[in-house]
Structure 1
Amino acid sequence: MIYKNIIGVDISKSDLDIASMKSVKGYQMYKSINNKTQILQCFKRILKKEKLKKEDVLVVAERTGIYTNPLLWSLVEEGYNLWIECPNQIHASKGFSRGKNDKKDARMIAEYGYRHQDKVKLCELTDDNLVSLQYLQSERELLKREEAKFKAQITDHKGYVKKGDYDSRKKRYTSILVEIKTSLKEIEKEIKDIIKSDTKLKHIMTLLLSVRGVGQVIATDVLISTQAFTKFTTARAYSAHVGVAPFQYTSGSSIRSRNKVSKRANKRIKRNLHMGVNSVIQAGGNFEKYYNRKLKEGKEKMVVINALRAKLIHIMFSVVQNNRKYSEEHVATWT
């Protein structure tokens, strides 16, 4: 669909800079406070002043984490065409530029929307339970990182500072670690309760947990990051997102690099998949057979493990898309 008017929005914590695109070089600038009521009032003024209909307007913005939510809640609920794009995608397409300010960024976003209308993916409101799970998961990861820091301090300093100083620090850090563990237990309970209360999410979790090597952490990660398997429709696309899909790197006759994975990846999920694959290999079965066969063929260990990480993703997508639990009786032709 070709939109008659493109509006670019640069989002910050406190306010929005809005650029309504009249032509490739003509813009009308607006400003709004970043809350639901003010955003709606601002866009109503824009439509009235410029005599536009919201079905003819495309609003483009960068994803900026939680600061995007007021724009998402206000516009999608009112039926606006909202496209929230990855900021890396927008900045990679802008070419060479000097200087930076919010108004300039809003115009750049509007121009990106104008030039890439064929790539538009309109936003829909995510299920409330999935939003809560994502928020809890981010808190869990934050606490996990803090827990690792305090544990490292206790371990690394022993024997290298005065005993009295060390003991007093250890006492303080141990009490903090107790609080962190209590909070982690509360978060994990909340996550489980939300999943149990939602029939769809509970069913998907049951399917995922039927796969060997997929525990509660991996299953929850995959459920949230795929938005209950609606954000990614293929295992290959999700493998690329996680960073286990190999890509070709060649140019003419001079550059002939071997296929390798991209560093643009969700490394936390990739790390968890790595541990899941290792546990399945040690338990024996199809993964162990494949692993040993490839090593005998001369493949590098990490290349084989990466292939098994991708295989695990394909199995998870398969059980969900076929709505059937994983069965060990299934004969795997890839081993």
Structure 2
Amino acid sequence: MKRSSFIGIDISKLTLDVCVYRPEHKEKKVFLKVLNTPKGHELFLKELRKLNVLIDEAFVCMEYCGVYGLELGFYLETKIDYCFCNPLHIKRSLGLTRGKSDKLDSYRIARFSYLFRDELKPMKMPSDCLIQLKSLISERSRIVKSIVIEKQTLSDLTATMSKPAKDRAENRLTGLNIDKDAIEKEILEQVKSVDKINKNYELLISITGISLINAVVMILCTNNFESITNPRSFACYCGVAPFEHSSGTSIKGKTRVNQYANKVVKTHLSNAARAAMMHDPELKAYYNRKRAEGKDHGTVMNALKFKLITRAFAVIKRGTPYVKLKQVA
């Protein structure tokens, strides 16, 4: 599709810095600044029309910035093509740069969208259910971190703590566990409230090792398996796929995973792989066999993670639960 205008938006909590970049008039960049409010979003489109920007031929590019960009994304959903991009991708594509400001960042985002116009595709915002699930998963993560801190405190400082201090720590721990259980119950209710999400959830938990939280995290990261449909792409996204490291004839590095990954997802996959290794006879036998061959624990666990990923995408694609292989004695 022909694009006549590329619009970069630098999002902050209160304002939106906008740059309108037209390839035919590279020297004539137009900058706008509007409030990051519903009225500001409406004003943004009005200003574009005043500048004779053809909405059907325009493309808006923004950085992922969490909750600050949610309302804008929903507003633009049916009005103009847009996408959110990884800030690191934009930063690494700029080459040598000097200086930084919101106005300058908006220009750099607009120029990035022009340079990568063949790769960037219009996106859609996740459903309300997925947004609620993401919020609940984040809340649960904070609770779990607090539980770990309280457990560590009780474990390490029992000898020096007074009885009232110990009682308070135990009460906090009890309250945190109650909150965690309540959050997990709400997560399950949210999942079951949408048929498409619930169907994929039921398929995922049929795989040994994948539980409620693991399944929901995979659903969130793949937009219910609509934005990522390839297991290898997902493995790359969460830092499981290995990459070669060599150059010429002298540098022959180990093939290893890359650190540019979603470490939160990787952590959940690690938990799933450990559970699968203990409770799935097939994967347990695979782990023991590879360890006997001299493979490192981390290498074998990484392979188990990829096996779980391929199983997950297979059951989603097939639409039927995972079937365990019969173990031959």
Provide the TM-score with structure 1 as the length reference: 0.91
Q: Quote the Cα distance in structure 2 between the aligned partners of 1:245 and 1:330.
A: 29
For 1:148-297, list aligned pairs within 5 A. 148-159=148-159, 161=160, 163-164=161-162, 167-297=163-293
Q: Is the 8 A contact 1:36 1:73 kept in 2?
A: no
Q: Which amino acid aligns with 1:125?
A: M
Residue 125 of structure 1 aligns to a residue in which SS? coil
Q: Which amino acid aligns with 1:59?
A: V
1:172-220 deviation digits (Å, cap 9, x = unpaired): 3333333322322221111111111211111111111111111222112
Q: Quote the Cα distance in structure 1 between the aligned partners of 2:326 and 2:232.
A: 22
Say whether 1:90 aligns with 2:90.
yes
Residue 172 of structure 2 aligns to a residue in which SS? helix
* Closer, same or farther: CA 230–330 of 1 in aligned 2, 3 Å: farther
Aligned counterpart, 2:52: 51
* Closer, same or farther: CA 322–331 of 1 in aligned 2, 3 Å: farther
Aligned counterpart, 1:80: 80
Q: Is the 8 A contact 2:158 2:166 kept in 1?
A: no
Gaps of 5+ in 2: none
Aligned counterpart, 2:61: 60
Q: Quote the Cα distance in structure 2 between the aligned partners of 1:251 and 1:25.
A: 40
Residue 72 (structure 1) shift? 0.2
Q: Quote the Cα distance in structure 2 between the aligned partners of 1:330 and 1:33.
A: 61
1:282-327 deviation digits (Å, cap 9, x = unpaired): 3352212222222232222221111111011100100111111111
Q: Is the 8 A contact 2:8 2:18 kept in 1?
A: yes
* Closer, same or farther: CA 120–302 of 1 in aligned 2, 3 Å: same
Residue 331 (structure 1) shift? 8.8
Aligned counterpart, 1:30: 32
Say whether 1:134 aligns with 2:130.
no
Q: Which amino acid aligns with 1:18?
A: V
Poorly superposed stretches of 4+, deviation over 6 Å: none
Q: Quote the Cα distance in structure 2 between the aligned partners of 1:101 and 1:197.
A: 44
* Closer, same or farther: CA 330–81 of 1 in aligned 2, 3 Å: farther
1:221-274 deviation digits (Å, cap 9, x = unpaired): 212221111121100011111111111111111221111011122223322322
Q: Quote the Cα distance in structure 2 between the aligned partners of 1:221 and 1:174.
A: 30
Q: Quote the Cα distance in structure 1 between the aligned partners of 2:181 and 2:281.
A: 33
Q: Which amino acid aligns with 1:27?
A: K
Q: Is the 8 A contact 1:73 1:125 kept in 2?
A: yes
* Closer, same or farther: CA 298–13 of 1 in aligned 2, 3 Å: same
Q: Quote the Cα distance in structure 2 between the aligned partners of 1:148 and 1:284.
A: 28
Q: Quote the Cα distance in structure 2 between the aligned partners of 1:178 and 1:122.
A: 46
Residue 330 (structure 1) shift? 6.9
Q: Quote the Cα distance in structure 2 between the aligned partners of 1:45 and 1:184.
A: 47
Q: Quote the Cα distance in structure 1 between the aligned partners of 2:326 and 2:218.
A: 23
Moved more, 167-176 or 312-321: 167-176
Aligned length: 326
Q: Is the 8 A contact 1:136 1:191 kept in 2?
A: yes
Residue 7 (structure 1) shift? 0.9
For 1:285-324, list aligned pairs within 5 A. 285-324=281-320
Q: Quote the Cα distance in structure 1 between the aligned partners of 2:111 and 2:176.
A: 46
Q: Which amino acid aligns with 1:302?
A: G
Residue 118 of structure 2 aligns to a residue in which SS? helix
Q: Quote the Cα distance in structure 1 between the aligned partners of 2:316 and 2:108.
A: 40
Q: Is the 8 A contact 1:40 1:75 kept in 2?
A: no
Q: Is the 8 A contact 2:245 2:254 kept in 1?
A: yes
Aligned counterpart, 1:8: 8
Q: Is the 8 A contact 1:213 1:280 kept in 2?
A: yes
Residue 77 of structure 2 aligns to a residue in which SS? helix
Q: Is the 8 A contact 2:7 2:60 kept in 1?
A: yes
Residue 33 of structure 2 aligns to a residue in which SS? strand
Q: Quote the Cα distance in structure 2 between the aligned partners of 1:128 and 1:140.
A: 18
Provide the TM-score with structure 2 as the length reference: 0.93
Aligned counterpart, 2:143: 143
Q: Is the 8 A contact 2:150 2:173 kept in 1?
A: yes
